Amino acid sequence: MTDVSANDETTPRFSELGLHPLVLKAVEAQGYEIPTPIQAETIPTLLSGRDVIGLAQTGTGKTAAFALPALSDLAEAGRADDGPFALVLTPTRELAIQVAEAFTSYATELSDFSVLPIYGGQAYGPQLAGLRRGAQVVVGTPGRVIDHLKKGSLKLGSLKHLILDEADEMLKMGFAEDIEEIFSQVGPDRQVALFSATMPSSIHRITGKYLDDPKEVRIAAKSQTGANIRQRYFMVQHSHKLDALTRILEVEEYEGIIMFVRTKQATEELAEKLRARGFKTAAINGDIPQQARERTIDMLREAKIDILVATDVAARGLDVERITLVVNYDIPHDTESYVHRIGRTGRAGRSGEAILFVTPREQRMLGSIERATKQKVEPLTLPSVEELTNTRVDKFTKRIDDVLAQTELSELTDVIEQYSLSRDVPASNIAAALASLVLESNTLKAEPMPEPARRQGRDRDRDGGRDGGRPGRGGRARDENMMTYRLALGRNERLQPGAVVGAIANEGGITSKQIGHIDIRSNHTLVDLPKDLDPSVLRKLSHTEIQGRPIDIRPDSGRPGRPFKKRNFDKQPGDGRNFRGDRRGGKKFGGRNDRSRDHY
């Protein structure tokens, strides 16, 4: 048995673990360099072909610990001849979805990769179609996996990897017989990875019977955060994060702020949007040279900028005394990252604050953070419309006070008086017109936060309102008022989010606030723009170029013609339905009501 401390400073880098180059490239593209303890210990063991028992809490990074070796093996061997290459068993539908999303993010460089989540409470049609197409990785709840095995729609003869995630939870929920049945249908030439938070006797029985000389890795997590850091969270859809963040920053006063996102691209995109809203912001990520990174950090230290948007890797070792707020704009993948992130504030006995944005689907990680840090993360209440409006008026009033106190206005006063007399316009109206120019079409009156889109009928109730509305690409919720357009340039042309925003805003004559999510892919880019965009704007943009190349903007059809490796796993080629979209629970299959098995 290997007992690994969560604070082991001898942890190697991902590049030293032996991952397949294509898998390593996808991991590094997300900004990851240093594995968590369970990843560092488990990945080389699984790559060597040995079975593993991982004892670790949720939030320690165990999904990558089993997904990366399986994908590396798949990249080396190619797809299975008959049936999936890997099967992951999870206790709940929510975890199945999260694990499938993780596989998708780590397989972006693998051609024709597909992962299929299968679970109770969802119609069989999309699942059967996905299995017929031949998903390389299947992630499912035990009951629904058994149903497909009995039906013959799922075959495990060529399975190379069988993974049990949160095995103790599955046994508590009564899936012991199902798990043993699944083991009985898997050939002898397979590797088993079992992960569990605890090691009850039932787990001992399964590991003793079905695992071959497994290596046991036990993670002793020691996550602890400073008591002088006030931690708050806000439950929000991804598409409304920027709105919520802006409202918080308008009302609450902070000195220096660091905001963490998951990807390099997201640092540039968020920084650009915050600058457009008047905040002094810069981005740092792994693509920025070290010298430029240090200059940016010095600017934060010297109050030349107030907000730094960073990835975990780029912010490693950062210590700036004036940081009083850490914003987890994207929730981290593991609790250790959360502790390291918020440790950027509240140093040397000073007080600090941390805000965590949580989408409804990420509530499990919030619970893991609270358990690991042994502290309650309190809910955050956004400023009310009245409070936000009053703050804007107060700030604008102060600007007027400052100008009156510091500027000689006699020359301008004469001009205003002459204008008022010659046009018979009250001075207050002239002042209001000038104020409008200063505000640049921004309004002092706040509007309510957009209401989250809701699924209709039983889907909403069954899913717990997860992310409200039909998810778009990358798992983000779609804004009903936005439409996705496709540009003919992408990463191959070294396209950056700032260039997209600049070209569309400058050439189209629209504000950067009207530009929604930007998704830069290898040979094209997807960008969300208002549905009610004037046709004249599109005509202007049709002649726009970036770096001397036409952007060729057009509505995105979402057709399955683009490479599948860049797609979200929940929309398979040839299947016009989202796998989450049709949940007629209780449909009989194989002579029984599936909801009684694994509708969790």
Residue pLDDT tens, the chain, 600 long: 555 544 445 678 899 999 999 999 999 887 777 888 899 999 999 999 999 999 987 667 889 999 999 999 999 887 656 789 999 999 888 788 889 989 999 999 998 899 999 998 788 889 999 999 889 999 999 999 999 999 999 999 889 999 999 898 888 888 889 999 999 999 888 999 999 988 888 888 899 999 999 999 988 655 566 678 899 999 998 889 999 999 999 888 889 999 999 888 899 999 999 998 889 999 998 788 878 888 998 899 999 999 999 988 777 667 788 999 999 999 987 787 888 889 888 876 678 999 999 998 888 889 888 888 888 899 998 888 888 888 778 878 887 888 888 878 877 888 888 888 888 888 888 888 887 777 765 677 777 776 554 433 333 333 333 333 333 344 444 567 788 999 998 887 878 887 788 788 777 777 767 888 888 888 889 999 988 888 888 888 888 888 778 898 988 876 543 433 333 433 333 333 333 333 333 333 333 333 333 333
SS3 485: strand
Rounded Cα distance between 325 and 357, Å, is 13
Choices 1.20.272.10, 3.20.20.70, 3.40.50.300, 1.10.3720.10: CATH for 229-373: 3.40.50.300
C-alpha dist (Å) from residue 478 to 287, 334, 372, 481, 529 = 29, 26, 32, 9, 12
Angle (CA) 93-99-101 rounded to 5° is 105
Would you say the C-alpha torsion 579, 584, 590, 595 has a positive or negative sign?
Answer: positive
Is residue 289 within 8 Å of 297, Cβ to Cβ?
no
CATH architecture for the domain at 472-566: 2-Layer Sandwich (3.30)
Structure tokens at 105: 């993010």
pTM: 0.50
Q: According to the model, what pLDDT value does residue 4 have? A: 52
**What's the rounded Cα separation, in Å, for the pair 394 and 542?**
42
Given this chain, do its domains 229-373 and 472-566 carry the same CATH topology?
Answer: no
Q: Indicate the class that CATH gives domain 2-222.
A: alpha beta
Q: Where are the domains of the chain?
A: 2-222, 229-373, 385-439, 472-566
CA dist., res. 105 & res. 113, Å (int): 11
- At residue 1, the pLDDT reads 55
Strands 115-118 and 86-89: unpaired
State the pLDDT at residue 316.
Answer: 67
- In the Cβ-directed half-sphere of 507, how many Cα atoms lie within 13 Å? 18
What distances in angstroms separate CA 386 from CA 33, 103, 383, 446, one per listed residue?
45, 44, 8, 7
